[in-house]
């Protein structure tokens, strides 16, 4: 409280005393006890009112104790149950949560980790994947500003993600690793990795690479066999020693018939092997009889050309040729789609042939495009000619209907160079990306598609799309998202299929450890995405004939269903609309493979390294007392007493108003009672 406020309070007291004395003391030779009481009550009333006008601010200090957090992160993957450590994990968790000393010292919070991190106190040990590094990345955001020692209860076997033993660099908390699993080294043969392409072409051979690993001290012999059904299609004898404990086998298999073909790779087990699950691996290949050939025609070289080729050919069902105008004209019938990169009047003959044969095309407009030529030769759109260049960024049109587009952060991509000016379409079109300048939408298409006379076309009004692929990689550490976007665009333009109101997206086969997701989109009669419809999928196991029905859940741009609970088998399915007689069918295969069953032991080395690097400790699951003692004795995890100072204005103090009301009421009552009113 300032000295100025203190002076005002003293003056308020003097004024209140003078005013009360003026009424009850003036002209009175002596004061009765009753008048003295009246004077006091009036003084209290006036002084309280004046205090409200001065409104001094009072300081309030509140003390609070802040306990550190104790984070218990439990590996909820099925490898814990497979290694028969689920009961030991449950017992450990129960002891930690029931410990009174721990509860007195820490705020205990539990999480499960598998494919993702979840706040949970129930543990089923049934998740199909383990990503420990991602769990610590998320915990680093949650406990960034707190003291939160972390207990990691795990076997240390991670199935995907970055190496977790270096997670301490982002997660600045001590980590106490509790090791689940047997540390004894057993003799073991396993198929460490099997690499095979997803697609093959009819009458060709597809390559396979297999990495075989042996753990043991004796020299052993085995046989690597690949079968399809009951037929052996490849076999090779293999020898291992303690020093020569790995072998890479490369071979090729023929693709003789169209469709999905499931194979089984087997490394014959040894007689004393404890885990034979990792001796088998199923894989599949889809054989197709047609490869989409695409031509990119340009009159000059540009980085965009190479990027488009790489993105399109990331799907092995497509091949791309970079051609000059004359080269394309000599083999025009060999391609299902042509990409016309920044056309000029030299493209005149190409347009004549394309228009005559009504062929699909993808046109890219840039700074070197002859707009006068394009406006003259093309009858579907007209671009304003201004002879000025502008940099346009992209904005996704979420209402785009012909096919599903995932938002890959288009708004953050570098701008494309494009001729400045508006575009006028003479046919119905649909915009994928709109132009924006400095975040302001121009309501002008940057990328659009349209259909006319049974022909499909796409137009991109900008060059330097190569920068988009680079930016996508910087954000996601993969080209996959950008290549998938280009792939969907090419698939749409290269196809002559008419629009369907119900479209489905699914894989021909799924590995047993991956999520089985089927997506669908439903359009109304105007081909606008219809969120009102209810879709359901009927799935039939073609082996057991068992039938199940699931609803599809509405996402932002599609409907989808997760069928990961289905066991490995062959399936057929039908997706149907509830309110209309529209349905679509398909087939898929789930391969039998559980990556969590490929481990024999806990990864003790990594768990100990993680604990040491983070200034924590590692314990085996049977040393619960040692873990609790270490946590309780560690001085880094002391309770912190925090003082909070609040400045409260007197006008917010409700008791002062009560005092005013009571003093006035009591004065009135006493005066009334004594006949003075």
CATH 3.40.50.880 in the chain, residues? Answer: 292-494
Three-class HEC string of 44-65 = HHHHHHHHHHHCCEEEEEEEEE
- Tell me which H or E stretch contains 484: helix 480-494
Residue 381 reports pLDDT greater than 60? yes
Tally of CA atoms within 13 A in the half-sphere of 43 that contains its CB: 15
First and final C-alpha spacing in the chain: 41
The whole-number average pLDDT for the span 628-641 is 88
**Which pLDDT does position 31 carry in this prediction?**
65
Residues 6+ apart with CB under 8 A from 224: 210, 212, 235, 236, 237, 238, 249, 265, 266, 267, 268
**Which pLDDT does position 37 carry in this prediction?**
83
What does the radius of gyration of the chain's CA atoms come to, in whole angstroms?
Answer: 38
Residue 648 reports pLDDT greater than 80? no
Residue 27 reports pLDDT greater than 60? no
Which token pair is 262? 């499931």
What average pLDDT does the structure give for the chain? Answer: 86
- pLDDT tens digits, 531-582: 889 999 999 999 999 999 999 999 877 899 999 889 889 999 999 999 889 9
- Tell me which H or E stretch contains 207: strand 205-215
Instruction: Specify whether the backbone of 387 is left (phi greater than 0), alpha (psi in -120 to 50) or beta.
Output: left
Structure-derived torsion over alpha carbons of residues 365, 367, 369, 375, reported in degrees to the nearest 10: 70
CATH 2.60.40.1930 in the chain, residues? Answer: 502-594
Task: Judge whether 329 and 308 are in contact, CB under 8 Å.
Answer: no
Closest to 459 measured CA to CA, from 483, 432, 498: 432
Residue 497 reports pLDDT greater than 70? no
The whole-number average pLDDT for the span 496-504 is 74
Residue 284 reports pLDDT greater than 90? no
CATH 2.60.40.10 in the chain, residues? Answer: 188-284
Long-range pairs for 549-557 at CB < 8 Å and ≥24 separation? 552/518, 552/520, 555/519, 556/398, 557/398, 557/404, 557/405, 557/406, 557/521, 557/529
Tally of CA atoms within 13 A in the half-sphere of 421 that contains its CB: 17
Pairwise pLDDT comparison (448 vs 200), residue with the higher score = 448
- Give the span between the Cα atoms of 526 and 557, in whole angstroms: 17
DSSP bridge pairs for 583: 576
Pairwise pLDDT comparison (372 vs 36), residue with the higher score = 372
**Which pLDDT does position 561 carry in this prediction?**
94
The whole-number average pLDDT for the span 467-484 is 88
The whole-number average pLDDT for the span 381-410 is 85
**Which pLDDT does position 12 carry in this prediction?**
83
Residues 6+ apart with CB under 8 A from 28: 35
Domain 502-594 is classified in which CATH homologous superfamily?
Macroglobulin (MG2) domain (2.60.40.1930)
Instruction: Kindly report the CATH class assigned to 292-494.
Output: alpha beta
Global pTM exceeds 0.85? no
Three-class DSSP category at 500: coil
Tally of CA atoms within 13 A in the half-sphere of 202 that contains its CB: 7
- pLDDT tens digits, 320-335: 999 998 998 888 888 8
CATH T-level topology, domain 188-284: Immunoglobulin-like (2.60.40)
Structure-derived torsion over alpha carbons of residues 523, 590, 514, 153, reported in degrees to the nearest 10: 140
Residues 6+ apart with CB under 8 A from 433: 394, 395, 396, 397, 410, 445, 446, 447
Structure-derived torsion over alpha carbons of residues 598, 602, 608, 613, reported in degrees to the nearest 10: 30
**Which pLDDT does position 193 carry in this prediction?**
86
**Which pLDDT does position 630 carry in this prediction?**
92
- Give the span between the Cα atoms of 196 and 211, in whole angstroms: 12
- Give the span between the Cα atoms of 639 and 643, in whole angstroms: 13
The whole-number average pLDDT for the span 354-358 is 86
Residue 500 reports pLDDT greater than 80? no
Phi and psi angles of residue 369, each rounded to the nearest 5 degrees, phi first: -75, 140
- pLDDT tens digits, 194-227: 888 887 877 788 899 999 999 888 899 999 999 9
What percentage of the chain reaches a pLDDT higher than 70? Answer: 96
Structure-derived torsion over alpha carbons of residues 637, 639, 645, 651, reported in degrees to the nearest 10: 130
Phi and psi angles of residue 486, each rounded to the nearest 5 degrees, phi first: -65, -40
Task: Judge whether 503 and 575 are in contact, CB under 8 Å.
Answer: no
Structure-derived torsion over alpha carbons of residues 460, 466, 470, 476, reported in degrees to the nearest 10: 30
Report the interhelical angle of 466-476 vs 480-494 (nearest 10°): 140
- pLDDT tens digits, 90-127: 999 999 999 999 999 999 999 999 888 999 888 888 88
The whole-number average pLDDT for the span 637-642 is 82
Residues 6+ apart with CB under 8 A from 568: 282, 512, 590, 591, 592, 593
**Which pLDDT does position 398 carry in this prediction?**
83
Residue 654 reports pLDDT greater than 60? yes
Distance of CA 487 to the CA centre of its chain: 21
Three-class DSSP category at 643: strand
- What does the buried/exposed string (b/e) look like for 430-453 if buried means 16 or more CB atoms within 10 Å of the residue's CB? ebbbbbbeeeeeeebbbbbbbbee
Which token pair is 479? 């080209």
> Looking at the domain that runs over 68-184+602-638, which CATH code has it been given?
3.40.50.410
**Which pLDDT does position 210 carry in this prediction?**
94
């Amino acid at each position: 409280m300032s000295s100025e406020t203190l002076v005002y309070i003293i003056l308020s007291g003097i004024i209140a005393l003078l005013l009360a004395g003026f009424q009850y003391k003036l002209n009175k030779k002596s004061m009765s006890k009753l008048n003295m009481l009246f004077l006091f009550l009036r003084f209290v009333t006036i002084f309280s009112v004046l205090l409200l006008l001065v409104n001094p601010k009072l300081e309030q200090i509140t003390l609070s104790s802040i306990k550190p957090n104790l984070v218990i992160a439990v590996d909820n993957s099925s490898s814990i149950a497979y290694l028969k450590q689920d009961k030991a994990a449950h017992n450990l968790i129960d002891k930690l949560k029931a410990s009174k000393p721990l509860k007195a010292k820490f705020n205990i919070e539990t999480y499960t980790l598998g494919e993702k991190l979840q706040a949970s106190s129930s543990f089923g040990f049934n998740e199909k994947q383990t990503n420990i590094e991602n769990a610590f990345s998320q915990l680093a955001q949650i406990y960034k500003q707190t003291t939160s020692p972390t207990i990691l209860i795990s076997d240390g076997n991670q199935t995907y993600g970055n190496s977790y033993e270096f997670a301490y660099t982002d997660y600045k908390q001590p980590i106490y690793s509790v090791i689940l699993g047997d540390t004894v080294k057993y003799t073991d043969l396993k198929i460490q990795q099997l690499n095979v392409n997803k697609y093959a072409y009819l009458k060709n051979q597809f390559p396979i690479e297999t990495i075989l690993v042996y753990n043991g001290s004796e020299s052993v012999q085995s046989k690597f066999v690949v079968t399809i059904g009951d037929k052996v299609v490849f076999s090779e004898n293999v020898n291992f020693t303690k020093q020569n404990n790995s072998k890479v086998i490369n071979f090729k298999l023929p693709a003789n018939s169209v469709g999905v073909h499931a194979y089984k790779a087997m490394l014959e087990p040894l007689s004393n092997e404890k885990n034979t699950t990792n001796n088998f691996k199923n894989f599949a290949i889809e054989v197709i009889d047609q490869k989409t050939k695409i031509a990119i025609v340009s009159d000059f070289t540009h980085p965009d050309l190479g990027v488009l080729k790489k993105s399109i050919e990331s799907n092995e069902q497509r091949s791309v040729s970079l051609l000059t105008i004359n080269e394309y004209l000599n083999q025009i019938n060999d391609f299902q789609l042509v990409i016309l990169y920044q056309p000029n009047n030299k493209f005149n003959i190409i347009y004549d042939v394309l228009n005559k044969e009504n062929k699909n095309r993808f046109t890219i407009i840039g700074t070197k495009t002859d707009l006068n030529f394009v406006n003259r030769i093309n009858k579907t759109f007209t671009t304003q000619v201004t002879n000025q260049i502008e940099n346009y960024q992209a904005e996704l049109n979420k209402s785009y209907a012909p096919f599903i587009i995932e938002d890959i952060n288009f708004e953050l991509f570098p701008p494309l160079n494009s001729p400045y000016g508006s575009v006028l379409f003479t046919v119905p079109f649909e915009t994928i990306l709109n132009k924006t300048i400095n975040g302001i939408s121009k309501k002008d298409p940057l990328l659009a598609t349209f259909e006319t006379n049974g022909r499909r076309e796409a137009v991109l009004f900008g060059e330097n799309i190569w920068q988009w692929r680079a930016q996508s990689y910087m954000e996601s550490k993969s080209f996959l998202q950008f290549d998938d976007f280009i792939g969907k665009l090419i698939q749409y333009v290269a196809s002559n299929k008419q629009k369907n109101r119900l479209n489905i997206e699914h894989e021909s086969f799924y590995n047993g450890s991956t999520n089985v997701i089927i997506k669908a989109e439903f359009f109304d009669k105007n081909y606008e995405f219809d969120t009102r419809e209810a879709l359901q999928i009927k799935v039939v196991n073609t082996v057991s004939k068992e039938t199940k029905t699931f609803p599809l859940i509405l996402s932002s741009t599609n409907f989808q269903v997760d069928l990961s609970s289905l066991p490995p088998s062959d399936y057929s399915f039908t997706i149907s609309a509830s309110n209309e007689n529209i349905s679509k069918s398909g087939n898929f295969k789930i391969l039998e493979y559980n990556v969590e069953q490929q481990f024999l032991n806990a990864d003790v080395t990594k768990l100990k390294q993680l604990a040491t690097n983070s200034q924590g400790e590692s314990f085996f699951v049977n040393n619960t007392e040692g873990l609790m003692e270490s946590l309780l004795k560690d001085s880094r995890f002391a309770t912190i007493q925090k003082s909070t100072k609040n400045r409260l204005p007197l006008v917010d103090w409700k008791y002062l108003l009560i005092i005013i009301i009571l003093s006035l009421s009591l004065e009135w009552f006493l005066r009334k009672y004594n006949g003075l009113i």
